[in-house]
Amino acid sequence: MDPAEKRRVAERVRRALTERLKPRGFVRGKTTFWARPREHVIEFVHLHLFSFEPAFRAHAGIRVLNDTFDAPALNGPTTDDFKTNGRWTYSLEFGAEEGSVARCVDEIARFCSEVAEPWFERFVGPRILLASESPLNERERANLERSFKGLADTETVRSSKKLLGVA
């Protein structure tokens, strides 16, 4: 598949995924991010398009709105974490055929349903995210704690929303 066709088909996958994730409360923000704002954080799914093949890797993450880091931290599970009998559990390759696009979207949606959603549910609420078992690093937890205490910086929150395209 030539690079231009790969980009076009990848965008078909992304548009179809947007419709699939909408009922779960996710909106497509930036080109490769689907975000769901919560109090103090944004839960997100990110698709990484491989340069060497027509395939994606899906990541889940939680962004603290009051965090100053200049990129979304991919601090959650990824499709690369899962293998069954030596094969990838979630097959995110795609081709130009409509059936191939639909199958890829189904696999991403299945990852979201089976892995990302339960992971997000496990960390709902600032008290759980402030615990040491949280996926957040020390800086993120400190920024979340400030936000939880009502000390969030409005410009930092605005920047975080803009970073994920939900401003």
Burial of 4 (0-12, 13-18, 19+ CB in 10 A): exposed
Distance CA 119, CA 67 (A): 21
To which residue do tokens 């909408």 refer? Answer: 22
Segment 133-145, tens digit of pLDDT: 899 999 999 999 9
pLDDT of residue 151: 95
Average pLDDT of the residues of the chain: 94
- Does residue 66 carry a pLDDT above 90? yes
State the amino acid at position 58 in one-letter form.
A
How confident is the model over 101-151, as pLDDT tens digits? 999 999 999 999 999 999 999 999 888 999 888 999 999 999 999 999 999
What average pLDDT does the segment 25-31 reach?
94
Domain ranges of the chain: 3-163
> Please, are residues 129 and 136 in contact by the beta-carbon 8 Å criterion?
yes
Task: Return the pLDDT at 73.
Answer: 87
Cα of 108 vs its chain's centroid, Å? 11
Q: Are 18 and 35 in contact (CB under 8 A)?
A: no
Can you give the pTM of this predicted structure?
Answer: 0.93
